[in-house]
Amino acid sequence: MILRPYQSRLVKNMCKALLTNGDSIAISPTGSGKTIMLSALAGVMQPAKTLILQHRDELVSQNLQKFTKVNPGLPVGLFNAQTKTWRGRATFGMVQTLSRGNNLDTLPQLDLMIIDEAHHVAAASYRKIIDAAKGRNPDCMIAGFTATPSRGDGKGLRAVFSNVADQITIKELIDKGFLVTPRAFVVDVNGMREGLSKVRKLKDDFDMNQVAEVMNKVPVNAEVVKQWKERGENRRTIVFCSTVAHAEDVRDAFLADGIAAEIIIGQMSGSERAGVYRRLRSGETRVVVNVAVLTEGFDEPSISCVILLRPCSFKSTMIQMIGRGLRTINPVEYPGLIKKDCLILDFGTSILTHGNIDSEVNLGKGDPKDGEESQGEAPFKFCPDGAKPTEYIFPDRNGSVGCGAKLPAGVRVCPLCGFFFEKPGEMPIEEVVLTEVDLLNASPFRWCDLFGSGKVMIASGFDAWAGVFSPDGDNWFALGKVGKARMLNQLMIGEKTQALAAADDFLRENESSDSAKKSKRWLRDPASAKQLELLQRVGYEIDAMGFSFTKYTSNCHLNFQWNRRLIEAAILGRRVA
């Protein structure tokens, strides 16, 4: 399996940080392939014993499959409520199980602990496990991965992590087509924005009862339904409310208008939640309303509309909510559903408060091209701690005095303590312009524009090929095939960048770095006599010397022609006998 360029960059930076400092955390948003990267880290570090600490039991089997795909042949153990074994070089362990009873007595000497959802490390259960591992081996390295390092309770992560190895931004993933583009609208109903500005702020968040007094009104709820019908009626939607009563009234407003809506609250059983998720996934339910249940740990890629009916005290909370709608979809899992973007309707002023969902982070080197890994270390800076003079306003706008951590140079807010980097007289960032990234040049595979129109593009490896196709220049279809399989894999229907990202990922999953390099060696080699003969059989005109084709372009054209019926059927939605 070939990692995406930014994944290779992060793993390399994490390795260096661990070997230098003994600990490090990486910021990796939803959709970036966090499990792939932490699996690659475990494989690259190759310590005698690794524990991968998990927070949610329902994802363990899925993560184990990804780990095995990244590290074929590496023995893996499992320690949860059902299975307790430390066999293998790496073990997936559940926090809840390990921290309970005498289970930590069985903990072997670890060389590396990788913590998924590492923003939880301030909790007593995590610290208990970390302390036990350090007690058995003081040199045990601690690596963390999280999408949202800022905690709502204000507790920092500095007690466990001394530095941030790397940060992947949501903007970076959108640019490359791995997430869809958010389209945000801020809605103010009857001067509601002024009322929200007077809501008091508690320790962890705004006073949600006061928020409900401002927002949970019949005219406001009616406007929510109206705006949804005008802009997002055909979209599967989640709504974030302030209180349970607020959520119930919003749900009832949708139901009164004949829209299939349901509610999810913390008191519901697992089976009740599963039923709501199932109906949302199938499209039977169009809108799911919740308070804070779906902020974390909920991934339903078909969501393409998010409605915010509450302000967010912390930017991380807003990002978590909006992130629920940014995943791309697999057309096989969602036949007939096309998702190109995500509609954000913000009635709660969060976007006005926090700005864009990402400040651009420039790590200096940028992504490598043509599959080459970037060389050298990205530039860093240090969070102020009062011991040395700093060019930034100190304390910051929120009174934070920093923590001294080593951070990527481009971060705007310290992920470990929340210090806001702001220079005197600096204007706040009001807009981040998303620009298209040349994904073709960042790919380890060469994409071939077969007919010069840009609408039929194919890349080939030794074991697989993939292509992106658009009959109208609007909807793009990503398709792929492995070996001699009879059927095509339908990978994506959406924007061109998203389709290219899905097709490129398919090749990365089914090819190795060696095969990518070997296929590129074909780029200048002239087509073989056998290839020219096959091209003539399918209707190509070949000049006397065959100079217009190389081995690689011949292979791409032949793959297209041999699979043309399947490709056309996939695009038109027909079955091929």
Average the pLDDT over 513-534 and give the result: 77
Distances (CA, A) of 334 to 280, 502, 572: 12, 15, 16
DSSP string covering 68-126, please? Answer: HHHSTT--EEEESSS-B---SSEEEEEHHHHTSTTGGGG----SEEEEESGGGTTSHHH
DSSP state of 233: T
- 3-class DSSP state of 441: helix
Q: How confident is the model at residue 368 (pLDDT cuts 50, 70, 90)?
A: very low
pLDDT at 434: 33
Q: How far apart are CA 225 and CA 345, in angstroms?
A: 11
Q: Which of 117-131, 368-382, 530-544 has the lowest mean pLDDT?
A: 368-382
Q: How far apart are CA 500 and CA 43, in angstroms?
A: 28
Q: How confident is the model at residue 58 (pLDDT cuts 50, 70, 90)?
A: low
pLDDT at 82: 84
pLDDT at 154: 54
Distances (CA, A) of 455 to 476, 478, 540: 8, 11, 19
Angle at 3 between CA 25 and CA 40, to 5 degrees: 50
Contact 247, 267 (CB under 8 A): no
pLDDT over 90, % of the chain = 37
Residue 432 has pLDDT above 50, yes or no: no
Q: What are phi and psi of 94, to 5 degrees?
A: -85, 130
Q: In what order do the strands lie in the sheet with 90-94?
A: 76-79, 90-94, 50-54, 112-116, 141-146, 23-27, 164-167
pLDDT at 541: 80
Q: How confident is the model at residue 376 (pLDDT cuts 50, 70, 90)?
A: very low
Average the pLDDT over 557-564 and give the result: 92
pLDDT at 101: 85
Mean pLDDT (the chain) is 84
Q: How confident is the model at residue 152 (pLDDT cuts 50, 70, 90)?
A: low
pLDDT at 547: 55
The CATH code belonging to domain 181-354 is 3.40.50.300
Q: How confident is the model at residue 454 (pLDDT cuts 50, 70, 90)?
A: confident
pLDDT at 419: 85
Find where tokens 């951070």 sit: 407
pLDDT at 379: 63
Cis peptide before 311 (omega within 30 of 0): no
Average the pLDDT over 246-252 and give the result: 95
Residue 482 has pLDDT above 60, yes or no: yes
Q: How confident is the model at residue 438 (pLDDT cuts 50, 70, 90)?
A: low
Residue 374 has pLDDT above 60, yes or no: no
Average the pLDDT over 449-464 and give the result: 88
Residue 370 has pLDDT above 60, yes or no: no
Residue 435 has pLDDT above 60, yes or no: no
Q: How far apart are CA 409 and CA 13, in angstroms?
A: 13
Residue-wise pLDDT for 279-320, tens only, equals: 999 999 999 999 988 887 688 999 999 999 988 877 778 888
Q: What are phi and psi of 121, to 5 degrees?
A: -65, -15
> For residue 175, what are the contacts with CB-CB under 8 A and spacing of at least 6?
434, 435, 436, 437, 497
The alpha-helical segments, DSSP class H, found in 422-528 are 439-442, 496-510, 513-521
In one letter, which amino acid is 542?
I
Q: How confident is the model at residue 276 (pLDDT cuts 50, 70, 90)?
A: very high
Residue 47 has pLDDT above 80, yes or no: no
- Highest-scoring range by mean pLDDT, 11-15, 185-189, 289-293: 11-15
pLDDT at 576: 44
Q: Residue 97 CB: number of other CB atoms within 10 A?
A: 17
Q: How far apart are CA 22 and CA 144, in angstroms?
A: 12
Average the pLDDT over 527-551 and give the result: 80
For the record, the structure tokens of 491 come out as: 């990978």
* Domain range 5-169, its CATH number among 3.30.365.10, 3.40.50.300, 1.10.3720.10, 3.30.410.40: 3.40.50.300
pLDDT at 109: 94
Q: How confident is the model at residue 16 (pLDDT cuts 50, 70, 90)?
A: very high
Taking phi first (over 0 means left), then psi (-120 to 50 degrees means alpha), and beta for anything else, what does residue 154 get? left
In one letter, which amino acid is 158?
R
Q: How far apart are CA 521 and CA 507, in angstroms?
A: 17
Residue 555 has pLDDT above 60, yes or no: yes
Q: Which of 119-128, 179-188, 355-364 has the lowest mean pLDDT?
A: 355-364
Q: Which of 29-38, 202-211, 467-476, 563-572 has the lowest mean pLDDT?
A: 202-211
Average the pLDDT over 56-73 and give the result: 82
pLDDT at 566: 92
Residue 244 has pLDDT above 80, yes or no: yes
Find where tokens 């499959």 sit: 65
Residue-wise pLDDT for 137-151, tens only, equals: 999 999 999 887 765
Contact 98, 61 (CB under 8 A): no
Residue 521 has pLDDT above 70, yes or no: no
Q: How far apart are CA 407 and CA 413, in angstroms?
A: 10
Q: Where in the chain is the domain with CATH 3.40.50.300?
A: 5-169, 181-354
pLDDT at 364: 26
Residue 59 has pLDDT above 80, yes or no: no
Q: Which residues pair with 418 in a beta bridge?
A: none
pLDDT at 225: 94
Q: Which residues pair with 181 in a beta bridge?
A: 341
Q: How far apart are CA 447 and CA 553, in angstroms?
A: 9
Residue-wise pLDDT for 316-350, tens only, equals: 788 888 889 999 999 889 988 889 999 989 888 77
SS3 readout for 141-195 = EEEEEECCCCCCCCCCCCCCCCEEEEECCHHHHHHCCCECEEEEEECCCCCHHHH
> For residue 474, what are the contacts with CB-CB under 8 A and spacing of at least 6?
none
Average the pLDDT over 66-88 and give the result: 88
Q: Residue 421 CB: number of other CB atoms within 10 A?
A: 22
For the record, the structure tokens of 419 come out as: 């210090």
Residue-wise pLDDT for 260-275, tens only, equals: 999 999 888 888 999 9
Q: Residue 226 CB: number of other CB atoms within 10 A?
A: 14
DSSP string covering 319-360, please? Answer: HHHHHTT-B---TTTSTT----EEEEEESSSHHHHH-SS---
Average the pLDDT over 225-244 and give the result: 91
Contact 349, 310 (CB under 8 A): no
